[in-house]
Amino acid sequence: MARTIADLDNHLGPVYVEVDQDVTRVHACWKLVTQLFGSQESVAILNNAAGFAIRAIQDSLIDSVILRITKLTDPAQAGRFQNLSLEYLIGKLPADADALLDRLRTQLENIRKSTDEVRLIRDKRLAHRDTAYAIDSDQILPGITRKSIDDSLQRIRDFMHEIQRYYEFEGTVYDMVELGRDGDHLLFHLLCGKRFIELHEDAQLGKLTKDDVFQKIQELPKREPNAA
């Protein structure tokens, strides 16, 4: 039994690695969305800095999450082209692993059911511009809730963990992916920058002396979120 990715054969190994990275990437994008836009306070900080630019970033990040989830749930074959997806990964697993394959196929079916609305948005708005939905006011695309994305990602994690247990890998903690200087760091710097501007304006208006400004600067947080 393979115990590391390096132990997987050349038939399965490269496919598993790429799908595993795709699952990690979609979790990274979603984590960034929730950090930046998960609370009214964070949205207020962002909008104060650059509202239009932030809206463009928000739309791009959410669209990226939608596209990444639907790519993972694509069929293994589309016409004469093969898709690197969860179904394609199933096809690379040992044909005699009947119990594992049955569990994964059931899980994939449930993943697809949980992403029906996400796929509709991909098909009607992102990958194509369906005129019925773009022009006809009676045709409305469903909204996407944070819970629906969280549930879909949980199902995708369970799918990957099923394979990892079979091969006795250490389970990947996808939802704890480290982003380095992430959304929290951006919010921290924007908040500090906003405070510096306020102090400067107060000093210009004579509301604060230079010593007051210096004192208040010393009171600002000195450490970024998650800083070592």
Q: Are residues 121 and 221 in the same domain?
A: no
Q: Are residues 210 and 191 in the same domain?
A: yes
Q: Among 52-61, 109-118, 127-136, which stretch is predicted with the lowest mean pLDDT?
A: 127-136
Instruction: Please state, as a whole number, how many other Cβ atoms lie within 10 Å of the Cβ of residue 150.
Output: 13
- Where a domain ends, among 138, 158, 179? 179
Q: Are residues 13 and 87 in the same domain?
A: yes
Q: Are residues 20 and 50 in the same domain?
A: yes
What residues have CB less than 8 Å from 152, skipping those under 6 apart? Answer: 69, 111, 114, 115, 118
* Residue 134 token pair: 């773009």
Q: Are residues 31 and 140 in the same domain?
A: yes
pLDDT at residue number 104 = 97
pLDDT for 132-189, tens place per residue? Answer: 878 876 666 677 889 999 999 999 999 999 999 999 888 889 999 988 889 998 998 8
Instruction: Please state, as a whole number, how many other Cβ atoms lie within 10 Å of the Cβ of residue 14.
Output: 14
Cα angle value 128/23/63 (rounded, 5°): 30
Q: Using 50, 70 and 90 to split pLDDT, how confident is the model at 228?
A: very low
pLDDT above 70 for 202: yes
What is the Cβ-side half-sphere exposure of residue 46, based on CA atoms within 13 angstroms? 22
Q: CB pairs under 8 A, 24+ apart, for 49-56?
A: 49/190, 49/193, 49/194
Q: Are residues 43 and 150 in the same domain?
A: yes
pLDDT for 120-131, tens place per residue? Answer: 999 888 888 888
Q: Are residues 185 and 174 in the same domain?
A: no
Q: Which domain holds residue 199?
A: 181-228
Q: For the chain, give the percent of residues with pLDDT over 70.
A: 89
Query: Distance of CA 87 to CAs 72, 150, 157, 215, 219, Å?
Result: 8, 21, 14, 60, 54
pLDDT above 90 for 112: yes
- Where a domain ends, among 143, 163, 179? 179
Q: What's phi and psi for 79, nearest 5 deg?
A: 65, -125
Q: Which of 161, 149, 185, 187 is nearest to 27 (CA)?
A: 149
Q: Are residues 85 and 122 in the same domain?
A: yes
Q: Among 94-103, 196-205, 216-225, which stretch is predicted with the lowest mean pLDDT?
A: 216-225
- Compare 211 and 39 and report the one with higher pLDDT: 39
- Calculate the average pLDDT of the chain: 87
Q: Are residues 125 and 146 in the same domain?
A: yes
The single residue listed with the structure tokens 């079979």 is 166
pLDDT at residue number 2 = 55
pLDDT for 81-95, tens place per residue? Answer: 999 999 999 999 999
The single residue listed with the structure tokens 């304006």 is 201
Q: Are residues 163 and 101 in the same domain?
A: yes
Q: Are residues 144 and 190 in the same domain?
A: no
What number is the average pLDDT over the span 41-69? 93
Q: Cα 151 from chain centroid? A: 13
Residues listed for the chain: 228
Q: Using 50, 70 and 90 to split pLDDT, how confident is the model at 224?
A: low
Q: Using 50, 70 and 90 to split pLDDT, how confident is the model at 101?
A: very high
**How many domains are there within the chain?**
2
d(CA 51, CA 110): 38
What number is the average pLDDT over the span 25-36? 96
pLDDT at residue number 130 = 84
Q: Are residues 164 and 217 in the same domain?
A: no
pLDDT at residue number 8 = 81
